[in-house]
Structure 1
Amino acid sequence: MHHELKFIKQEIEKRALNETDKEIIEKSILDGIETAWDRLYKQQPQCGFGLLGVCCNRCVLGPCRIDPFGGEPQRGVCGATSDLIVARNLLDTLATGAAAHSDHGREVLEVLLHTAEGKSQGYQITDEEKLKAVAVDYGIKIEGKSKEEIAKELAVTMLEEFGTLTYGIKFVDARVPEKTKQMWQKLGIVPRSVDREIVEAMHRVQMGVDSDYVNILLHALRTALSDGWGGSMMATDCSDILFGTPTPKTSIFNLSVLSKDKVNVILHGHNPILSEMIVKASEDPEILKLAEQKGAKGINLAGMCCTGNELLMRKGVPIAGTLLDQELAIVTGAVEAMIIDYQCIFPSITFTASCYHTKVISTSSKAKFPGAIHMEFNPASAFDTAKQILRIAVENFPNRNPDRVKIPEKPMKVMAGFSEEVIRKALGGSYKPLIDLIVSGKIKGAVGIVGCNNPKIKMDYGHVTLAKELIKRDILVVETGCSAVACGKAGLLQPEAADMAGEGLRQVCKTLGIPPVLHMGSCVDCSRILVMASKIAKELGVGIEDLPLGGAAPEWYSQKAVSIGSYFVASGVYTVLGIPPTVMGSKNVVELLTDKIKGLTNSAFAVEPDPLKAADLLESEIMRKRKALGI
């Protein structure tokens, strides 16, 4: 028995950094609940060909695989080499991620259009100032028009850019520095529209189309740019217009945010269209009265993953956790309902929920989960549907088994909601004060840490360790997605964390009353980082590729992260990955992405699992670009 308990403790330590996560991981083991870590263990050893990217199932001539050690076979049945197979696989992966973000953006645009036309229920144009600013970027005349008229014209114009009629994305014309744009033009990677690049990517990976790995990877960069400067940026800006541009909010993080005496509802996924309406419905007197009748003291909403980030930034709603916390939240035994839309939701979530009283409620026609209660969500009946969903959660409260409940008791305070507009306003409306701090050396530069969790890495370790190391070196950190949640759980998203920073950054943060790690939003909100970088570059009269910036994804798993990393690099931002992408089976592809691309975009990818060594790489790159700028 002693040896068994020792093994459990060792296993828990390997799985997570955060103490509240460890509590519930232990409960999951004792309850006999399978989680992502258990499923990863059962998959060992994973397919070596797949990890290197040298397997191909593009057509039924195969599937084919290439010997990575130089033996036979060296070509697939169609004649594809390892370079071609790896490049096609990478483009396919990237296009999937770009499609995920951009399709999210399309849904937000459709709701904006329906709202402008008076066809949606419960939605409104909240930020008229942002609406007008974005409309101006799109060349839309705003004088003498109502906000609804402006919103309709903007939504229609943006939706047209998903097709091929306009042959260009207006955010590229309005927001990208001229020098960076010229770089893209020279490389032939200026994005023409959102959907076109994704469709063309799918065409190119068809057998018998693009067989030049360099040409394929250049199109991968163009596809990524159509996401970062297109679909994702549209999603962010139009969410701000509908729900409000984020401003600093204080809240709490980790599994301790769950309540012992309220109805706990987890909002999990990525689209704020659903979650914003659930927040509104949770305040409805009818729903609150029903909760009281069922013996609860109210309704407690908690976010998960990027839906959580959206709600945190605008409403201050607490976040229960990251990608790998989704099963752990259910294991607490205290969750009445997990409401899901799409992206980053484990197919196993309904299986986990079946072991407790938790109801899983799916809401999107494109994301159904066997075992879930499916309640279609659309703008025309949004508020009514939100109330129906909450009724299910409330009526489930009496089914909670107190003997199976374990809620940690150490929530972590956070400050979040640092939109680009808020940061610029805090600096007096211009980035000159920040530029002066960088020139003086008080802040060496900035790094955007983004991305997910991966059970291959101790949960949160990569994000937190890298962030701590960078701020110690006077490098400002901006974050989105699960990376921001991870650092929030570790206490880095509060002004007091400035004590962990170097002398220069610490002084700046204390003067402004901000954390040294700034939460900028969900994963589509990486576009906020692009806009911030662009505005700084324009003030300096340089390209984004000239700035002392870096990017990192220490624990990434998703196709979306491949697209994000690629539009960072294509925009000129050196990016370090903590987990190798599946390209190692092609020496030529690896050399192009990590070395030769530097001559094209003044940036590159690097792979470094050790976050301390990753910090060395990022600092070195920042110092290289500082020297080139003469500072």
Structure 2
Amino acid sequence: MARKEIPIEELSIDPAVIDVLKLAKEKEYETVWDRLKRQSPHCKFGVQGVCCRNCIMGPCRITEKTPRGVCGADASVIVSRNLIRALAAGAAAHSDHGRAVAVLFNEVAHEENQDYRITDEAKLKAVAKRLGVDTEKPILEIAKEVAAQALADFGKQDEKALNFLKAYAPSKRKETWQKLEEALFSQTGKKMGVLPRNIDREVTECMHRTTMGVDNDAVSLLIHGVRTALADGWGGSLIATELQDVLFGTPNKKTIRANLGVLSKDKVNIIVHGHEPILSEQVVEAAMSEEMQQKAKQAGAKGINVAGICCTANEVLMRRGVPVAGNMIHQELAIMTGAVEAMVVDVQCIFPALGRLAKCFHTQFISTSDRARFPGAVHIQFDEKRARETARKIVETAIEAFPKRDKSKVHIPGVVAEAVVGFSVEEILNMLGGSPKPLVDAILEGKIKGVVGIVGCNNPKVKHDSFHIALTKELIKRDILVIGTGCWAIAAAKAGLMQLQTQELAGEGLKAVCKLLEIPPVLHMGSCVDCSRMLVLAGALADYLKVDISDLPLVGSAPEWMTEKAVSIGTYFVASGVPVHLWPAPPIGGSPEVGHILTETIKDLLGGYFFVEEDPQKTAEIMENIILEKRKAF
């Protein structure tokens, strides 16, 4: 049965989205919601995670009548294999991002790249100190040693844990992982490693274990999934965040504008979309140059306006204050405004549908990565060693498109919100006077009951932004501080929840703390790789109190999630001791055994666990109860 027609007003809570969707319906532009409708109902075997395509004896689908695949694998094995394959893909995406940053950082350290520089020497020394590098050496010598340790984490062949994990993870959590390895060996007689050895190795081993005829034990498969996720959270993502801060600057508090209304009717609009600031930083710098601004004016525009979408938006807004046009679901809608000269993309979360859509407008859909080709795109290969030159070419391509803009097609929703952003761990600690003590005291005194970290995607199966915003409002009302990243952060910014006025929506205790610090009760911590910032903050609190992360009143959530990266993120938070909420439900329903392991058994092993809930208010109640239970230990 096909999915029923849903009124446009039920697709999103964002008035700008609703506005452009009405235009799309009138003009018959195709959107992600149209494609979802055509794909519905989804394959029940895929939804339950019981379809296996890992060899050509299949595909195999598990039912009551056919409980085993051709090779003999049952539902628990198939569900586990599918889950950790998705996790491996997510870890690979984040870590490939991190690798690109580490390689560039190494080139800068060795003076092989003159288009980039070390911007934040204090951050470099802080990273180096954690890694045991002598910080009295010249800056480039420090950078070389940090780069060597970062690159080693992608490929070293010993059995020792990642350099960055050892340097950053809190002491009690490292003890928990070590004890778990020992306990698993004692109970099973099998070596089940938890601590990741190198990032690429864990992803590769994940793929090897899940091929036909290798690992066919659900527990063993899931434990390796934990190991792979930790290689992402305390490895690839952490390396990306820390080294990007060193290269481009550590974010600090600033005010930005958010939503489609940031597009300009009389300027060249360039949108950067994707995830890697190696590209977007250069595009922003080129676009803001006097030379390019003058070229835009010569083309008939009043200048150049750069805006972001998705996590590239989070990167440039945190560091440069660049406005954000929207989260992932806005990418087609931005082009439909008819005011975008160039949609510049790198990797991850980019719809291949953009190429076809851009043909309806003057918009130049520009791909830049050799890892990400798109039909219908103009490909301008981004070369880090010719970064400024490439960025200039991209900006000039956008300027050349401006005279071709059809003014009759321009439809920019007049919807904009302001948001206070830039809450890196360093900025938070700086506001606290250099120590986590004031935050810890506020939690111990009950002014703040606890903290919830929200990691967000967009998923057209869920009313756009609705879960993000409803859950956030419910939590701050209960005196629970909300921090987060990704498309949730953009949703909260667009909804006005990152303004100082939002303090009035918070409970009395949280409100008082926020007024004292002059911050909103909802903190933007960056892009999806910057979930590592939340890990580092949790680690700082745990080390300060000399407890494990699992002892802290912390909970995580991934509402509206859709990407394999979220599988990895959720798992590394659980593996670090944080209970994590999910909605929609992950594809594990076909195996009650796997479901029980991830929601119950894992509690005793790691302290963290998953739970699923589709109602935002009930989710907030569950989170508050978890937090209150953890508070009893204090």
Distance 2:174 2:139 in 1: 31
CA contact (8 A) 1:350 1:370 kept: yes
Distance 1:532 1:139 in 2: 20
Which of 118, 127, 131 is the matching residue for 1:134? 127
Distance 1:624 1:266 in 2: 45
Q: Residue 97 of structure 1 corresponds to which residue in structure 2?
A: 90
Distance 1:509 1:451 in 2: 23
CA contact (8 A) 2:368 2:382 kept: yes
Letter in 2 for 1:163: G
Q: Percent identity?
A: 54
Q: Residue 467 of structure 1 corresponds to which residue in structure 2?
A: 472
Q: Give how far 1:510 is off.
A: 1.1
- 1:165 is the counterpart of 2:170: no
Which of 159, 172, 176 is the matching residue for 2:169? 176
Distance 1:172 1:467 in 2: 30
Distance 1:83 1:452 in 2: 27
1:430-579 pair list within 5 angstroms: 430-579=435-584
Q: Give how far 1:508 is off.
A: 0.8
Q: Secondary structure at the match of 2:271?
A: strand
Q: Greater shift after overlay, 524-533 or 399-408?
A: 399-408
Q: Secondary structure at the match of 2:415?
A: coil
- 1:20 is the counterpart of 2:20: no
Q: Residue 187 of structure 1 corresponds to which residue in structure 2?
A: 180
Q: Give how far 1:410 is off.
A: 2.5
Which of 340, 363, 366 is the matching residue for 1:361? 366
Letter in 2 for 1:565: G
Q: Greater shift after overlay, 10-19 or 550-559?
A: 10-19
1:584-623 pair list within 5 angstroms: 584-623=589-628
Deviation sequence 1:473-497 (CA, Å, 0-9, x none): 0000001000000011110011110
Q: Residue 47 of structure 1 corresponds to which residue in structure 2?
A: 43
Q: Residue 108 of structure 1 corresponds to which residue in structure 2?
A: 101
- 1:32 is the counterpart of 2:28: yes
Deviation sequence 1:540-587 (CA, Å, 0-9, x none): 010001100000011000000000000000001000001011011000
Distance 1:194 1:577 in 2: 25
Q: Give how far 1:121 is off.
A: 3.9
CA contact (8 A) 2:150 2:164 kept: no
CA contact (8 A) 1:121 1:379 kept: no
CA contact (8 A) 1:578 1:611 kept: no
- 1:56 is the counterpart of 2:48: no
Q: Residue 269 of structure 2 corresponds to which residue in structure 1?
A: 264
Deviation sequence 1:215-263 (CA, Å, 0-9, x none): 1001101110010000000000000000000001111000000000000
Q: TM-score, normalised by structure 1?
A: 0.97
CA contact (8 A) 2:275 2:310 kept: yes
Q: Residue 7 of structure 2 corresponds to which residue in structure 1?
A: 11
Q: Give how far 1:437 is off.
A: 0.7
Q: Residue 62 of structure 2 corresponds to which residue in structure 1?
A: 66
CA contact (8 A) 2:173 2:549 kept: yes
Deviation sequence 1:270-322 (CA, Å, 0-9, x none): 00000000111112233222111110000000000000000000000000001
Count of matched residue positions in the alignment of Structure 1 and Structure 2: 618
Q: TM-score, normalised by structure 2?
A: 0.96
Distance 1:596 1:134 in 2: 35
Q: Give how far 1:118 is off.
A: 2.1
Distance 1:203 1:164 in 2: 18
Distance 2:586 2:123 in 1: 37
Q: Give how far 1:190 is off.
A: 1.2
Q: Give how far 1:165 is off.
A: 2.8
Q: Secondary structure at the match of 1:595?
A: helix
Letter in 2 for 1:106: R
Letter in 1 for 2:355: T
Q: Residue 72 of structure 2 corresponds to which residue in structure 1?
A: 79
Superposed structure 1 runs of 4+ greater than 3 Å apart: none
1:101-500 pair list within 5 angstroms: 101-143=94-136, 145-166=137-158, 167-188=160-181, 189-500=194-505
Q: Greater shift after overlay, 549-558 or 424-433?
A: 424-433
Q: Give how far 1:463 is off.
A: 0.5
Unaligned runs of at least 5 residues, structure 2: 182-193
Distance 2:112 2:410 in 1: 43
Q: Greater shift after overlay, 281-290 or 339-348?
A: 281-290
Distance 1:128 1:121 in 2: 17
Distance 1:226 1:448 in 2: 20
Distance 2:25 2:453 in 1: 35
CA contact (8 A) 1:460 1:483 kept: yes
Which of 85, 88, 98 is the matching residue for 2:81? 88
Letter in 2 for 1:95: A
Letter in 2 for 1:146: P
CA contact (8 A) 1:120 1:382 kept: no
CA contact (8 A) 1:303 1:320 kept: yes
Distance 2:109 2:493 in 1: 36
CA contact (8 A) 1:137 1:170 kept: no
